[in-house]
Structure 1
């Protein structure tokens, strides 16, 4: 067992998250930022997201998603959380999210559970001025990892719908609920259980740029037809298969 992964898994269970500080060098961070700036210009200052290894091809985010050390870390965390090995064909699914412009405001306080047991978040651009800097908001470890796909679908129907999201957002904004708020630091890697933890980002000034790379790994329902049919909306919208790849025609 990787000792560092065991420590990180214990921190996730105890605190809701773990941090690997300065996971990437300043040079690599600048490469990631250059890619973001190019994409931000292409999207004319409005929100965008890029899903999948192929769409991110040639970027440092794709290179990290294909790196053996990151996959080994995430696979060990999956094993420690679930007591099982990930599917043999499981790969890291990378996503870039960039909050900017008025459309970026619509992407705040969108509380959800991830499809994968392990989520790694790498901030690239984070605002440092103003009241709202797009903090990561987590309600940690609210549920267990479910290997029964039907039970997961039912739980998401109850906890992961528009009404529930609006109610949670309303309660958080009025401090009736007090989740963990993380001030993100570019270059650090934040690890948490996206499957177990309800999470979202705080709003961000439309004039500012907030960009993060997300690395999803360890889908407990990787081989479930039910899960493919009812879950995985982001992959379907991006026209990717359940492995996060473009289908071969």
Structure 2
């Protein structure tokens, strides 16, 4: 990707809160990913599931994309623009999430900050009509990178709980808070600073499937003991949620 294109992406994230690369996937690539999701969805019999890395991701197009030098350079450039320095590690955490059935309505509006600074969201299957499409809602760039990991942990604990999420959702309904809303289009790529942006997805019609791939890059607190423990806890909760057919809330 040319330097001018990378500059445009980072400027959009700074000024608008997110950047969209339209038609990031070809029709053929998108069809391949949708078929992979369909096969996995049938295995889980209409329930929520998520894969955090692993063979299911690495064996499909998502694994090849995460290994692409051009893709990795793009994420590194977006991180540099947001943090003012290179990332501690160039590791990319790849996640495949699929909301289907009633799990989408039960576990929507789970507002959170990501552990990584850069979040690249690739929609695979998204309802394009109706009211409940699982739109992405954002409060862009609402906080800075914290110098202390404990401050980050406390902030997340205060906002990422059931009461806070209900209050935020109620404030949005009554137009006391006005977040940005993105109607996601399969095959586009959406980039934002997930660490700095409080975000969640709206409810998705239970009769439709919402499948997304997420690429997390650049944890500002990577290497700290607290970060390692939180990552292990979140991965354990994600595995438990997949086993139960529900969505984790963090």
Please say whether Structure 1 and Structure 2 have the same fold, judged by a TM-score greater than 0.5: yes
1:195 corresponds to: 195
Instruction: Quote the Cα distance in structure 1 between the aligned partners of 2:186 and 2:72.
Output: 20
Shift of residue 56, structure 1, vs aligned partner: 1.6
Whole-angstrom distance in 2 between the partners of 1:212 and 1:29: 11
Structure 1 stretch displaced more, 154-163 or 98-107: 154-163
- What residue in structure 2 maps to residue 132 of structure 1? 132
Looking at structure 1, the residues matched to 168 and 53 of structure 2 have their Cα atoms a distance apart, in angstroms, of 29
- Residues 58-107 of structure 1: CA deviation (Å, up to 9, x unaligned): 1111221222111110011101111111124x311111111110122222
Listed as ranges, the matches of 1:27-66 within 5 Å are 27-66=28-67
Residue 245 of structure 2: aligned partner: none
- The count of corresponding residues between Structure 1 and Structure 2 is 238
Cα offsets for 1:95-141 (capped at 9, x unmatched)? 11111101222221000000000000011111122211010100111
| 8 Å CA contact 1:134, 1:201 repeated in 2 | yes
CA distance in 1 between counterparts of 2:230 and 2:114 reads 14
RMSD (CA atoms): 1.7
Give 1:82's aligned residue.
83
Map of 1:78-227 to 2, 5 A cutoff? Answer: 78-88=79-89, 90-227=90-227
- How high is the TM-score relative to the length of structure 1? 0.90
Tell me how far 1:176 sits from its aligned partner: 2.7
- Please list the CA deviations of residues 26-54 of structure 1 after superposition, one character each: whole Å capped at 9, or x if unmatched: 11101110000001111111211111144
Query: In 1, Cα distance between the equivalents of 2:20 and 2:3?
Result: 16
TM-score (normalised: structure 2): 0.90
* CA distance in 1 between partners of 2:160 and 2:14 (Å): 22
Offset at 1:175?
3.0
Question: Could you tell me whether the CA contact under 8 Å between 1:96 and 1:213 is conserved in 2?
Answer: yes
CA distance in 2, matches of 1:48, 1:55: 12
Contact kept? 2:132, 2:205, Cα under 8 Å: yes
Q: Shift of residue 3 of structure 1? A: 2.6
* Cα distance change on mapping 1:62 and 1:107 into 2, 3 Å: farther
